[in-house]
Structure formats: structure tokens, C-alpha cells
Structure 1
Amino acid sequence: MSGPGGGGPGGGPAARDDVLVGAVALLADTGRVVLLDVRWALGDDRGRERYIEGHLPAAVFVDLDAELAAPPAPGAGRHPLPSLQRLQSAARRWGVRDGDRIVVYDDTGGLAAARAWWLLRWGGQADVRLLDGGLAAWRAAGGPIEAGDVVPPPGDVTLPGGGMPTVTADEAAALPRGGGVLLDARAAERYHGEVEPVDPRAGHVPGARSAPTTANLAPDGTFLPVAVLRERFAALGAVPGAEVGVYCGSGVTAAHEVAALAAAGVEAALWPGSWSQWSADPDRPAAVGADPRISAAP
């Protein structure tokens, strides 16, 4: 595991407030805040189109595939981490300056925006938060909507890196065997091996526990209360002080799980390559079914 963590100790309001900001609080904030619109979904390339139709005032569109990932590669997954230099260049295009407060959002409960939250924190930008409930919460709070593109003056931010922990494929696989916890943030049917819409093989990493990211959210798309999140993760063995790793298909929605864990006071490392990296290697075993102890043949 490399890099320090980003969660608040013990959970509770301090930890949650370090990860999330509510729409009402953001509306009342009169200081400088950089707003980033990260609308994206697997197989849906209309994020920019929907952004142009309406977004938070002054929000800048962030292209997840082009700006929050390096080109896909079988040995690194579908969304490898961009280099720090590339991420810094993108952040400067978004108008980010050193010391800025940043709020990221989308229209899917933060499932895409969390990738920007995690990457910017990984890059060393400390004051980054997810808009709890995203665009829907903003509208429900009476927030104004602006149409058209926003091109801000270039920023000068410097990203030193080292702000969030990561694990490699081998380190992730070793966690369950060494007393740690490996959480699979994909939908349960993908974990079980019943379906696999995009990656080479179905199933999950042996020993990983199913923890779908969508279960972090209430029906309105806001994060569940801290006490509920803490109870959910504790049932999976993910408690403060435990060694926890998280993966998904390609390191996007796993960032959302890392955010939910951080809000509950649990530090977790992201496995960037995730299942898209693992399943591309025929020598790595794939487990199927609901029991994390049952492994299929490689």
C-alpha cells in the first residue's frame, strides 16, 4: 500500500464534512469555490452535451475519459491513473489555483465525480469535496442553473502527489489472506459472475467481499448517514484501523466507495487497475458466486 490516507478518524460530522458538502451550504458560501462538473457513465458519452444544457454557475466540465485517466491498457485497466503532470495540466485548465476549495459533482450521486475527488486528493489538493446529492440536490435547494460552456482563466496549481493510498493488483489480492479487507464496489451480479458487460472475464478476486457502491446512497442520491455507513462497512470488516482496499471495474466507482469509507472514518486504498486489469490476465484466478472463499479455475 502506498501513500497516506484521507479519511477522518472515527467517523462522525468531522469526517463527513471533510468529504461532502450539502447543496444548501454551498449555496450560502460566498467565497471562491472551483466547481467541476464530471457527468459520465459507462457507455454514455453525452456528459458534455448535458453539461452545456445546464450546470451550476461557473462550473467547468471535466471529461473523465480524457482528463481523469491515462489511455487504457490491458496491463493497467480501462482507466489507468494519469501522470501527476497530466493531472496538474488538466487542473490548471480547469482554473484551479494553489489553495483553492474545489467542489465536484455529477448527476449520478457522485459515482463519476468521486473519481475527480479522489484524483485531486491523490495529487495533493487537500480541500476537495463532493456535492452531496449532486445536480439533483442543487436543483432541489433552489440553486440557479447556467447553460453554455465555461472556460476559466488558467490556474497555477501545483500537485505534489502522495495524497491518497493505492494498492497494486498483487497487494489487493493479498489483503484477504493477510487479515485485511478487499471490497468489490461493482454491482452484485458482476461480483457473482452472472454478467460481465465490458471486461474480459466475469467474477471477482478471490477473497474480495461484495460491497456495491450504490448501497452508499439514499434514494435521493445523497450519501447515507455516517452511522449507517459505519454499520454497513463494519459488517464487511472495514473498520477504523483495518487494512482496507477497494476495487471496481476500472477505478472509477471504487473512488466513491473510498469516499463513503472516509466519511465513516475508515481509511481505504484504491486499486486503480481494478477488475479490468485483473480479468485481462488469464493467469489470475476468478472467483464466482456470493461466497468470497469459493474460487473458480483460472
Structure 2
Amino acid sequence: MKPIITASEYASESAGPRPPVLLDVRWQLGGPHGRPDYEAGHLPGAVFVDLEAELSGPAGDGGRHPLPDPAEFGAVMRRAGVSSDSSVVVYDGGLGWAAARAWWLLRWTGHRDVRVLDGGLAAWTGELSKEIPSPAEGDFVPVPGALPLLDADGAAALARSGLLFDARAGERYRGDVEPLDRVGGHIPGAVSAPTVENVGADGRFLPAEWLASRFFGLGATEEVGEVGVYCGSGVSGAHQVLALEIAGFADAALYAGSWSHWTRDESRPVATGPDPQ
């Protein structure tokens, strides 16, 4: 099953006998809370899920968006109507990062049938609703570990032994600027691969063959072995994992704490400039 779904495909499935559970996870880095936008109009039947409060644990030593407690995440998903046999579709405002975070968390905790609405809300041409749904309680119970997860030591090792992508903007990778974390730069050995280059101007993923060519050109060959990803705080990195899956590179590992976790320990090395080392 493809990890993304078009708006027209979703419209068809939502009209069928078993419509997917639909999650609205609108969120903007450094921007306003997404709940008011949801209440102003959302895809019919969508349940709002808060990235900051429900798809992340409290910010702190684990980084700016550490993973949520699996039991608490499971309770959120059940309240949204997610069951183990549900088909789940997730969307956000169009950037795709927040939707990918929800997709990754569900996949990591064992849910197999989850897709991201390609292009998000902007791709939807149907009517919007202000009705707040009250879905029946689901039965999904998270079992973490279905996707590979890196810690700081694992990310450092993979940058030397395999391929570790840095999904942030190039200027943050180089250390030219750092608007959010203690210091700029990158994990030594990591390769710059900005997430924003995986999508077109409309926010939709570029074709699978184009993405495959991109990642191959960045070093994702059969010989390299394991591929991992990190970003600023684990959100856009999930989008990169999704792009890699579309391109045919299944089960890329995510360093969920990412740069916001790496830089909390001043003893960890930091590389700057365009060269990975």
C-alpha cells in the first residue's frame, strides 16, 4: 500500500462502506495552534489531533518534540476512533510535516494501514465542515518498534557506517544560521538532504522515480546499507522517512530527538560547512 493518498482517492474511499478514520493535524512551526483553523473548517469527519500536546512529549532533555508516551498516544488515537483494523488518513495544512509525524508514530507503534493526504488541506476541493465529530472509541493498542528508531549514539554511528540524512534547510546544516537550537551545524558525517526538496510548489510529493533518483544521487545505494534521517526536532525528519518510502527505500531509521536533542549535550561533536565531515 502506498503511504500517500490523493484527494480524489480519499473522496472515493470516504464515500464507501468503510470510510477511513480521518485525522486533522494542522500545525505550523513557531506559529499559532491549529485548533482554531480546524474549528473554522475541516474535511468532513476529521478529528483534530494536536502535534504539540498529543504527538509529542514535553519539551526538555529529549528535545523540542520528543516522542509521546506510547500509552498516552494510544489513548489519543482510540479517542479519535482508530482501531487496529482501521484505515487511517492524516492531513495537515499542506506542508506535510505534521501529517508525516502522525503517520510515522502510527507506523512505529504497529498500525499498518495509514496514509498521508498528499498536498494536505490545499489539495481538497470538496466542502469543509465545522461539525465536530464524536467517533466511537477505537481499540488500537500501540506496540512500539515497527519502524527503526535511532538515539544519539546510533545516529553518530550510522553517519560513519551507513548514510544519515540531515533534513533541515541547507543553511542550518552548514551552520550559517540557527534560529531554534543552541548551535548550528550538523552531526559529523551526515549528508544534507533538505525535506523541502521532496515536494513541488503545491506541497505534493514529487514522483517516486524522481525521489528515488534524488536519494540515489545523495548516496542511498544498495551498497550503503542502512539509511537514517534527522532534522531539527523529529517532525520534518518523519516527512523525509515518508519520502524515502515513496521512493522505494523502506524502513529508514529516524533519530526522533534530532538536532534539538543532539545539541543539548555540549560534549557531542558539531560539524559546520557544506562538507559532511
Per the TM superposition, whether the score is higher than 0.5 is yes
Partner Cα distance (2:142, 2:33) in 1: 29
When residues 54 and 239 of structure 1 are mapped into structure 2, their CA distance, relative to the original with a 3 A threshold, is: farther
Select which of 230, 255, 258 maps to 2:238: 255
Deviation at 1:175, TM superposition (A): 1.3
**How many percent of aligned residue pairs carry the same amino acid?**
53
Structure 1 contact 53–148 (Cα < 8 Å) conserved: no
Deviation at 1:87, TM superposition (A): 1.1
1:92 lines up with 2:75 in the alignment: no
- Alignment-mate amino acid for residue 60 of structure 2: A
Q: Secondary structure at the match of 1:175?
A: helix
Deviation at 1:95, TM superposition (A): 1.2
1:192 lines up with 2:174 in the alignment: yes
1:283 lines up with 2:273 in the alignment: no
Partner Cα distance (1:276, 1:207) in 2: 18
RMSD: 1.3
Partner Cα distance (2:276, 2:97) in 1: 24
Select which of 46, 57, 69 maps to 2:33: 46
1:72 lines up with 2:59 in the alignment: yes
Q: Secondary structure at the match of 1:103?
A: strand
- Alignment-mate amino acid for residue 250 of structure 1: S
Match of 1:11 in 2: none
Match of 1:56 in 2: 43
- Alignment-mate amino acid for residue 135 of structure 1: L
Partner Cα distance (2:166, 2:84) in 1: 34
Partner Cα distance (1:94, 1:119) in 2: 14
Match of 2:96 in 1: 110
TM normalised by structure 1 equals 0.88
* Structure 1, gaps ≥5 residues long: 1-16, 294-298
Deviation at 1:72, TM superposition (A): 1.4
Q: Secondary structure at the match of 1:191?
A: helix
Partner Cα distance (2:221, 2:249) in 1: 6
Higher relative contact order (CA 8 A, sep 6+): 1
Structure 1 contact 19–259 (Cα < 8 Å) conserved: yes
Q: Which digits, 9 at most, give the CA deviation of each residue in 1:138-164, with x for residues without a partner? A: 12xxx2211243332322212222221
Q: Which digits, 9 at most, give the CA deviation of each residue in 1:48-76, with x for residues without a partner? A: 111111111010001001101111122x1
Q: Secondary structure at the match of 2:58?
A: coil
Partner Cα distance (2:204, 2:95) in 1: 6
Deviation at 1:99, TM superposition (A): 0.3
Select which of 82, 88, 98 maps to 2:68: 82
Match of 1:238 in 2: 220
Partner Cα distance (2:118, 2:131) in 1: 23
* Structure 2, gaps ≥5 residues long: none
Partner Cα distance (1:219, 1:28) in 2: 25
Match of 2:19 in 1: 32
Deviation at 1:41, TM superposition (A): 1.4
Count of residues in correspondence between the two structures: 272
- Alignment-mate amino acid for residue 70 of structure 1: G
The runs of at least 4 consecutive aligned structure 1 residues that moved more than 6 Å come to none
Partner Cα distance (1:148, 1:208) in 2: 45
Deviation at 1:109, TM superposition (A): 3.0
Structure 1 contact 239–266 (Cα < 8 Å) conserved: no
Q: Secondary structure at the match of 2:123?
A: helix
Structure 2 contact 58–66 (Cα < 8 Å) conserved: yes
TM normalised by structure 2 equals 0.95
Match of 2:205 in 1: 223
- Alignment-mate amino acid for residue 20 of structure 2: V
Deviation at 1:235, TM superposition (A): 0.9
Match of 2:140 in 1: 157
